[in-house]
Amino acid sequence: MPSAASPRFVHRSLTVLLACAAPVALAGAAPSPAAPAEARPLYKDAGAPIAARVDDLLKRMTLEEKVGQLLTVWDSKVKLLDAKKRIDPAKVAALYPNGFGGFARPSDAIGPASPRLVPGRDVKSTIELVNDLQRYALTKTRLGIPILFHEEGLHGYAALGATSFPIPIGLASSWDPDMIRQINAVTAREISARGVTLALSPVVDIARDPRWGRIEETFGEDPYLVGEMGVAAVEGLEGPGKPETLAPGKVFATLKHLTGHGQPESGTNVGPAPISERELRENFFPPFEQVITRAGPGAVMPSYNEIDGTPSHASKWLLHDVLRGEWGFKGAITSDYYAIDQLQDIHHIAADKAAAALLAINAGVDSDLPEGGSYRTLVDSVRAGKVSEAVIDDAVRKMLEIKFRAGLFEHPYADPVAAVKITNNADARALARTAAARSMVLLKNDGTLPLALPAAGAARPTIAVIGPSAAVARLGGYYGQPPVTVSILDGLKAKVGGRANLVYAEGVKITENDDWWEDKVTLADPAENARRIAAAVEAARGADTIVLAIGDTEQTSREGWADSHLGDRSSLDLVGQQQDLFDALKALGKPIVVVMINGRPLSINQVAANANAVIEGWYLGEQGGNAVADALFGDVNPGGKLPVTIARSVGQLPMFYNYKPSAHRGYLFGEATPLFPFGYGLSYTSFTVGAPQLSTATIRPDGQVEVKVDVANSGKRAGDEVVQIYVHDLVSSVTRPVKELKAFRRVTLQPGEARTLSFTLDHRAFELWNIAMKRVVEPGQFEIMAGPNSVDLKAATLTVTQ
């Protein structure tokens, strides 16, 4: 999302910004506003139970008004605006005589368009739009139903002036759920302050194919890690304890994308997910189940892909039987952008939009985002007897419940003065810097890092800062537009002051344009890059150390939402002439430190072999340059760990740590092991992690065991270690992975400090889905393993008795 498969979603440019949707005047005459039949309807009584308020409102609504609540406005947003881009009430009334339920991304200017071409709305103008629309809905429509606004908030609020944090795969590298909770609390307050109620976040797809451009939006490959990060994200957005109503500064989360999205066929976005029910239940379902049962997100979004011939948006088994039935989900199910239309356009299981709407509404999809292209046909379908009005009522009920739970009937308006004060304030910027620092993973270091600045009066070293990502702060997809961004070059300038000489060269360009929204991706001219490489070599010739920032742009790793807007790759190698740049600089014989700024894990075999140090930075957000400078000079000791396996080549795929025993036998003329394993990351200090100590050698299937692990800082610097606990079922009735992550904790230790960490493993750590597809704990022996990554582990044996 967004998806350009719909013919309405067209190339973004200044000349052709969008294809306007047809007017949404639903069948039937619009009821004129009239005086209420009673002084105070029950649905307007804030003290009444929400269920009673929904029942009262629902029985007053016409069919046209009900269907209107399932529609959202985005493509046609521009048709509601006057010349000053403010809401024109007459246009709203003409286009939506029966009202509409939702409004997409009020912070953008006119609908789907690149904010680089059409700048978004700032805090005040966003609130002006929101308040104008709410005032219209509450005072000019027959029943006065407020509008549900939604925004993107994947790694900060994606809006002009908001705070930008590292991308989710970077945040997952922190292995720090508490920090994820704090970041999402900031995201929630910045979104809520503009009068918006729903955030389209977090993504809890497990990602098992790095060719897939959306891997950057995920928390990685492991179900347990993704689930813990997802729970923390939802608690940050909504508040802890599965709140019934939203507290001030909170928004409802939208859990996405259910499911299989992260391992598409051929690694291409929206491709079929050739995944069995067992694989779904063992790996893809658990993060969703954990977040739903523990954190209670307000909404869930199905995935674009099909599973075993049935697209998720048409799967009653997935949305009704599993999501609502097995997991007890009570919130709203909102479509991904244009996904219902795609049941006709891409999947070809519906002859037209009306048929697509029937498939989705009967499967349980409550709202058609972002424009209602299919659901606007539902009035006619009800009239024709193709779907029961009771089915419509069920969907409308879910959408109204969100509005009542959010308090929109009582508090629909936002305060621009308060919003300006809390948006991208000092606390938010400080957290962005901390997040970037804790998200970096040190992959290699021969002692070159940390760099040192000379004492006063000593000779100043020269540092060459080179690369296509050295002088730009790359924010990744679904990005906001923070007031200030800090590149690596900016951060180093601030760090060294006058104590070191800095020289800069771009080295190469990766793509001619790095606008995430732009459809066409053009690689930079190799001949021009050859000249840039020569200039970079000359700039670095006199340097003492080279810092090289390479990786991706927002165009080389992104969501491929249409045939004309691709984002997936068939290779994991560095794009363009970046390897040539590294080789040329390495030939100078200088120490070279590589900082990877990227969205997907790349097969940097030669870089890893020949660089003196390598930091995996991902896209680090607005404060990334300061964080990198802190890490390079040792003011921050990197402590992140990889949330994904980094393959040596695309030929190894799929490559993930929790594989089955028969996998990865080996290759002729190639390695079977990854370049870097899941959970891996170094430090400027050293740690020892002891063998797991079990509180008991045996437990019953419903029992639990306490696992204690000693960890000590055996080096000379303070630093962080992530102690990881894995489980392996030695003999089972169905095949099981060689290991599965079941617990972890990140700890900070001073030099010489030692601690004993305690972890509790209960039946959930030992369950499997047996041959009858029942979740059970089978008696037998289990290895309990502890270590700093998924490879360097020490084990103890636990027996589960009958």
Quick count: other Cβ atoms within 10 Å of Cβ 377? 22
Q: Kindly give the pairing relationship between strand 148-151 and strand 102-104.
A: parallel
Please pick, among 122, 209, 336, 552, the residue that the annotation labels catalytic.
336
Give the rounded distance of the alpha carbon of 26 from its chain centre. 35
CA proximity to 786, closest of 690, 719, 688: 690
Q: What is the 3-state secondary structure (H, E, C) of 692-752?
A: CEECCCEECCCCCEEEEEEEEECCCCCEEEEEEEEEEECCCCCCCCCCEEEEEEEEEECCC
User: What are the CA-CA distances from residue 644 to residues 100, 660, 724 (Å)?
Assistant: 42, 17, 14
> Is residue 668 helix, strand or coil?
coil
Burial of 609 (0-12, 13-18, 19+ CB in 10 A): exposed
Angle between helices 389-405 and 50-60 (to 10 degrees): 130
d(CA 646, CA 90): 56
Amino acid identity, position 802: Q
Dihedral sign, CA of 123, 126, 129, 134?
negative
Q: Alpha helix locations (H) across 331-405?
A: 339-345, 353-363, 378-383, 389-405
Exposure string of 243-282, with b = 16+ CB inside 10 Å and e = fewer, is eeebeeebbbbbbbbbbbbbbbeebbbbbbbebeeebbbb
User: What are the CA-CA distances from residue 494 to residues 180, 590, 627 (Å)?
Assistant: 27, 24, 11
CA proximity to 788, closest of 690, 704, 644, 656: 690
Amino acid identity, position 782: F
Q: Are 474 and 625 within 8 A, CB to CB? A: no
- Give me the torsion for CA of 427, 429, 431, 435, rounded to 10°: 180
User: What are the CA-CA distances from residue 522 to residues 9, 525, 571, 582, 714 (Å)?
Assistant: 21, 9, 16, 22, 49
Quick count: other Cβ atoms within 10 Å of Cβ 772? 7
State yes or no: is 568 an active-site residue.
Answer: no
**Catalytic site positions:** 336
